[in-house]
Amino acid sequence: MVRYSLDPENPTKSCKSRGSNLRVHFKNTCETAQAIKRMHIRKATKYLKDVTLKKQCVPFRRYNGGIGRCAQVKQWGWTQGRWPRKSADFLLHMLKNAESNAELKGLDVDSLVIEHIQVNKAPTMRRRTYRAHGRINPYMSSPCHVEMILTEKEQIVPKPEEEVAQKKKISQKKQKLMKIFANHIYAKDIIPRIYKE
């Protein structure tokens, strides 16, 4: 069985999906994966579809050298963003796979949350490009491994409302004492003592 970098807290309530040596850019996929981390499965699916249609963008927080700015990324509190369509398509495919795994396990698909998602570098693939004066330069690709774990989110049950504490009945004797000492100079000291007795 394939090892994941993280074991779910409750394996019976979670499902997994992974892809190895995917022919998609590592850096783009890493940023897209971080954007959907801890998202609800339906929300993540809609977001990735919007990325492919350029309706929402992916914030590039780490691998952002030379990345242009765009207005759509303001909702993430960032300035640099892009629309990595191929990465979004691969992650959509993996989410669909995880969803079918959840159905097979008998989990509630509508309450799944992406608890863990990780993108690792795969061995680079080598090609060559021909340059002037008979030189040859490397023409590398940066594939990646992706793994994700989705967990069924427990529904939060509201606490039952506590019964309003009924006022303690004060004896007539204490009521009279309170009336007497209400305007007394040391009322602040005396009245608490009466309550304690």
Q: What is the DSSP letter of 148?
A: E
pLDDT of residue 166: 62
- Tell me the backbone φ, ψ of residue 144, rounded to 5 degrees: -150, 160
pLDDT of residue 157: 78
Q: Do 15 and 112 meet the contact criterion of CB atoms below 8 Å apart?
A: yes
Integer Cα distance of 101 and 8 in angstroms: 15
pLDDT of residue 188: 57
**In 1-154, which ranges are E strands?**
14-22, 58-59, 81-82, 112-121, 128-130, 136-138, 144-152
pLDDT in tens, 171-192: 787 777 777 767 666 665 665 6
Question: Reduced to 3 states, what is the DSSP secondary structure of residue 182?
Answer: coil
pLDDT of residue 165: 59
Architecture of domain 11-152: Alpha-Beta Complex (3.90)
Which residue, among 68, 4, 73, 61, has the nearest Cα to 28 in the 3D structure? 61
pLDDT in tens, 160-173: 776 655 667 777 87
pLDDT of residue 145: 97
Which residue, among 77, 143, 95, 102, has the nearest Cα to 14 in the 3D structure? 102
pLDDT of residue 82: 97
Q: What is the DSSP letter of 36?
A: H
pLDDT of residue 108: 93
Residue spans in the chain of domains classed CATH 3.90.470.10 = 11-152
Q: Low-confidence residues of the chain, pLDDT below 50?
A: none
Integer Cα distance of 34 and 22 in angstroms: 17
- Integer-rounded Cα Rg, in Å, for the chain is 31
